[in-house]
Amino acid sequence: MVVSRVMSTQRGALLSRSELPLPVLFDSPQAALSRKQLPKRTGTIAFKRGMMSVFDENGVRIPVTILQIDRTQVTYIKTIDQHGYFAVQLGAGARHAKNVTKPMLGHFSKAGVAPKRIVAEFRVRDESGLLPISHEITAQHFKEGQFVDIWARSKGKGFSGVMKRHGFSGLPASHGVSVSHRSAGSTGQSQDPGRVLKGKKMAGRMGGDNVTVQNSKVVKIYPEFGLVLVKGPVPGPKYAAVSIQDALKKPDVDCAMETTS
């Protein structure tokens, strides 16, 4: 009886959380959301400021990327009853009102915040991860020693060859090879199958992709400047906007369970 009732439910209908059936018996977007691993609390938007080195207590040099959390505030929240999932929409940075469209000006005005440079959405697991409208997120949202996931758009490299784009070895640089030292070589067989297979690595546009760096360690935090120093590189050029959230594969229990007031 349960299966027949579940299958007869309209695929696009929005159900309250109490009415959601077992995920294994339902193929709606809501059931897929319940199966998805989501963080307990929202992430945040930051701006990449460059790289530097710091030294730990043992004198070991650690390369870090400087990320600045600049005037990040909650501009909107989404609930499962109204939108089908829980999410927090954040705005960061600042932008002059004359450079913002009227719909977005009304959106920011309704939230009671100044016009923002960028807006991003972060999904959370349940209602406990939602924050009040206009709530400000600072660098103290994270703590030293925890791990975070960071995603951003990588630098665009333009049209690149196979050696740079895919790491091909190239052809021999000896006698008998003419004007083909950096070429891809053969792209397939002859009569069988008589075509180039899909997915063949070739020259083309490189970079400009959405890249995620997982399990980056927070080395140092400077709350007075809104700075978060994470170990290792972060995708994107200087001053680019990046998204940070608690690491899914290395969650910090204390950080995830604390409530943001």
Q: Is residue 177 part of a domain?
A: no
For residue 126, being part of any structural domain is answered with yes
Q: What is the pLDDT of residues 41-52, one digit of tens each?
A: 999 999 999 999
| Residue 193 in domain | no
Angle made by CA atoms 235, 237, 240, in degrees to the nearest 5: 85
61 domain-assigned? yes
| CA–CA dist 1, 21 (Å, integer) | 12
CATH (domain of 128): 2.40.30.10
Question: Do the domain assignments include residue 22?
Answer: no
Residue numbers of the domain that contains 84 = 44-156+214-257
CA angle at 140 for the pair 137 and 145, rounded to the nearest 5°: 135
- pLDDT, average across residues 161-189: 91
Residue whose pair of structure tokens reads 């200087």 in the numeric block: 238
What is the tens place of the pLDDT at every residue in 111-161?
Answer: 999 999 999 999 998 888 899 999 999 999 999 999 999 999 999 999 999
In a domain, 24, yes or no: no
pLDDT value at 2 more than 50: no
- CA–CA gap between residue 108 and residue 230 (Å, rounded): 30
- Distance of alpha carbon 91 from alpha carbon 174, whole angstroms: 57
Rounded distance between C-alpha atoms, residue 31 and residue 23, angstroms: 5
Q: What 3-state DSSP class applies to 148? A: strand
Distance of CA 71 to the CA centre of its chain: 19
DSSP state, 128?
G
Residues 237/220/143/124 CA torsion (nearest 10 deg): 10
Q: Is residue 200 part of a domain?
A: no
Paired sense of beta strands 241-246 and 147-153, if any: antiparallel
What does the alpha-carbon distance between residue 7 and residue 24 come to, in Å, rounded to a whole number? 12
pLDDT, residue 31, reads 65
pLDDT tens per residue across span 187-198: 988 888 889 999
Those residues whose C-beta lies under 8 Å from the C-beta of residue 147, and which sit 6 or more positions away, are 215, 216, 217, 218, 246, 247, 250, 252
Cα–Cα distance, 84 to 82 (Å, whole number): 6
Is 59 a domain residue? yes
> For residue 80, is pLDDT > 50?
yes
Pairing label, strands 44-55, 210-222: unpaired
pTM of the model: 0.77
Cα→Cα distances 73→110, 124, 183, Å: 13, 16, 50
Domains: count for the chain: 1
